[in-house]
Structure 1
Amino acid sequence: MASSHLIRKSMLNQGHLLYKTRCASFSSAPKPEKNASHHLSAVIDAVKERKLPPELRGQRSSLRSETDIINIAEQRIWQSMKEGQFENLPGKGKPLDLRDNPHADPAEDTLYRILSKNGCAPEWVELNKEIRTQVNGWRSALKKAWANRCNQSHSQWVESCKALKLQMSDINNKVFRYNLIVPFGRQMFGLKWEKEVARLEEQ
């Protein structure tokens, strides 16, 4: 019994010592997450470096700029022109075929082509023309009322302003509707009374 007790105690001591040794080794070993992050950062830097022109590779990031890349691109274009690489391009000297828009949605592009062949235009095109016509007429009326305000009574000027503001509201409602249906990038700004009057004051 005594011998078995001693053996058990010895095994427990050895196990405890082994546990301490492993804990110490884990605490002193470098963290794999940190090494992984450094490795990932190095890979990203290498990929960015390969995307740069050879003339800019190996330089510090602070020495690189968008202007440097543009200058290199222009130098290469001029060099290619001198070497005559643009002389025998297909379609040289011929007008561009703008019937198809590669960036437009195929369904919309087909619809616009059908409308164009039948002498029609999309709703937003017609609305754009209508808005611009109304804006030009409204600005002419405002300019006329502004020029005649000295010869009119204050009440007449106030009435003219009310009528013009109502027309401006109608135009802005059409602009709002236009911006909802027009393709992205073709939106327009509405009229602002203060801005229009300030422009007349500067004239």
Structure 2
Amino acid sequence: MANQVDGPKKKDSLPRSASRRPKSRRRRGLNEWQDLITEQLDEAAAKGAFENLPGKGQPLRLNRNPNEPDDMRMANKLLKDNDLTPTWIGDRKALLSEIELLRTEMERRWELTRAGAEAAGNEREAFARSWRRSISDWETQIEELNKRIVNLNISLPIWRMELRRLRLDEELKRIGATKGDGESPW
């Protein structure tokens, strides 16, 4: 009963597991970690682990892009070092190539339709119908591309990289063609 009156037991009287953590599990302070890391680096240097590193004796390449935000520098360097690009760059390139494919197809189709209509004589109306079907298909393709252009433009970090939305009239004008509604396209 005297133990209860005397107060709590001293720390030394508790079992070892209850009194303190084992040394391997105790928390280390920042200085202890720095000392440990420095010690390991010194040991590795003494063993010659840093003697044959690529680029030894060469100046560091610290090419700094003045247009790059500070918070993106590390991420962009990691991407560049691993031959990767931000998704918006890949998406923009893919979209530009699809636009170029559409323009090439429109130009090719216009040349074929015009040449065929000139050679056909009486069959010109069939070529005009085919041309109007192509126009309808391109309107649908341009609508889809424009949706993707808007989504891409929203994700771009640089407004100067934005793509202009496509307009069918402008694309036809680019190749010297008309829609052909109500009139002959040639």
TM-score of the superposed pair, with normalisation by structure 1 = 0.47
How many residue pairs align between the two structures? 106
Mark the runs of 5 or more structure 1 residues left unpaired by the alignment. Answer: 1-96
Deviation at 1:154, TM superposition (A): 2.2
Do the aligned partners of 2:107 and 2:175 also contact (CA within 8 Å) in 1?
A: yes
Q: Which has the larger radius of gyration?
A: 1
One-letter amino acid of the structure 2 residue matched with residue 179 of structure 1: N
Distance of aligned partners of 1:178 and 1:98 in 2 relative to their CA distance in 1, 3 Å threshold: farther
Name the counterpart of 1:186.
161
Displacement of 1:113 in angstroms is: 1.2
Equivalent residue for 2:96?
132
Relative to structure 1, the CA distance from residue 98 to residue 193 in structure 2 (aligned partners, 3 Å threshold; closer, same or farther) is farther
Aligned pairs for 1:68-87 within 5 A:
none
Could you tell me which amino acid in structure 2 is paired with residue 163 of structure 1? Answer: D
Listed one character per residue, the Cα deviations across residues 54-74 of structure 1 (whole Å, up to 9, x for unaligned) are xxxxxxxxxxxxxxxxxxxxx
User: How is 1:22-171 mapped onto 2 (pairs within 5 angstroms)?
Assistant: 99-150=63-114, 151=116, 152-171=126-145
Residue 198 (structure 1) aligned with residue 173 (structure 2): yes
SS at match of 1:148: helix
Distance 1:121 1:187 in 2: 17
Offset at residue 179 of structure 1 (A): 0.9
Whole-angstrom CA distance in 1 between matches of 2:62 and 2:88? 20
Q: Which runs of 5+ in 2 are unaligned?
A: 1-60, 117-125, 178-186
Q: Percent of aligned positions with the same letter in both sequences?
A: 18
Root-mean-square deviation (Å): 2.0
> Normalising to structure 2: TM-score of the pair?
0.51
Name the one with the larger helix percent: 1
Judged with a 3 Å threshold, the aligned counterparts in structure 2 of structure 1 residues 195 and 98 are, in CA distance, closer, same or farther, namely farther
- C-alpha spacing 1:98/1:131, structure 2 compared with 1 (3 Å): farther
Offset at residue 98 of structure 1 (A): 7.8
Higher relative contact order (CA closer than 8 Å, sequence separation 6+): 2
Q: Which residue of 2 aligns with 1:79?
A: none
Structure 2: which amino acid aligns with 1:171? L
In 2, distance between residues paired with 1:166 and 1:144?
Answer: 18
